[in-house]
A and B are shown apart, each in its own frame.
Chain A
Amino acid sequence: DAKTTQPNSMESNEEEPVHLPCNHSTISGTDYIHWYRQLPSQGPEYVIHGLTSNVNNRMASLAIAEDRKSSTLILHRATLRDAAVYYCILTGQGGSEKLVFGKGTKLTVNP
């Protein structure tokens, strides 16, 4: 299975943009890039996903490199509620049973 690499932790200030990076150099052509986040004492929450093109939704934006070997989750204005562990996950052949969670990036948002 293709693996992802994320920084262990990042810090941001409230109301500032946050760029969370993810490297996935062994990504295959059919792998989707998913982002989930997990707030303290809660289950993971879907954030966004994409295949090749950049994606936007009400929560965040996903910027995918042209060679697809890396991607960036963009939170446009961080709030205290965005403090969570963010997971970058690839899904490809086999579907959801191949959803592999690493340790993610712990985002701290300072007031």
Chain B
Amino acid sequence: NAGVTQTPKFQVLKTGQSMTLQCAQDMNHEYMSWYRQDPGMGLRLIHYSVGAGITDQGEVPNGYNVSRSTTEDFPLRLLSAAPSQTSVYFCASSPTGGSNQPQHFGDGTRLSIL
């Protein structure tokens, strides 16, 4: 199993550009989420989804958009990139999102916005 796969691994954008960070999992997990991690900080939740067609906001959702059309994929869209969105982005999944379930994380996308 590949687990949680994130693409691209690295990306440089100019301010105002848009892009989509891809996340795919092959474990048939219902729950998926996106986090960002700034230097020296813990992870902060951006958006999450408890199943196909259902998404909700986390702690820091502004400037980001998500959709969940399939169980496997949960893309994160930056609508108009800003330097404050320079960060490392992690995608995670778990079977149903229950509080007793471990989450599986991808290796991250390192995003720089100039």
Q: Which residues from chain A sit less than 8 Å from chain B, CB to CB?
A: 30-32, 34, 36, 41-46, 49, 51, 87, 91-104
Given that A44-B90, A44-B105, A45-B105 are contacting pairs, would A99 and B45 also be in contact in the complex, using a CB cutoff of 8 Å? yes
Q: Which secondary structure characterizes the binding site on chain A?
A: loop
Most central of B4, B44, B108 by chain A CB within 10 Å: B108
The answer to whether B48 has its CB under 8 Å from any CB of chain A is yes
Q: When the two chains form their complex, are residues B42 and A94 in contact, meaning their CB atoms are under 8 A apart? A: no
A32 interface neighbour in B31, B45, B99, B103, Cβ under 8 Å? B99
30 contacts between A and B (CB under 8 A): A30-B99, A32-B100, A34-B102, A42-B108, A43-B106, A43-B107, A44-B92, A44-B103, A49-B100, A49-B102, A51-B100, A87-B42, A91-B99, A91-B100, A93-B99, A94-B99, A95-B97, A95-B101, A96-B31, A96-B48, A96-B99, A97-B45, A97-B56, A97-B58, A97-B97, A98-B99, A99-B45, A99-B103, A100-B45, A101-B44
Query: How many A-B Cβ pairs are below 8 Å?
Result: 71
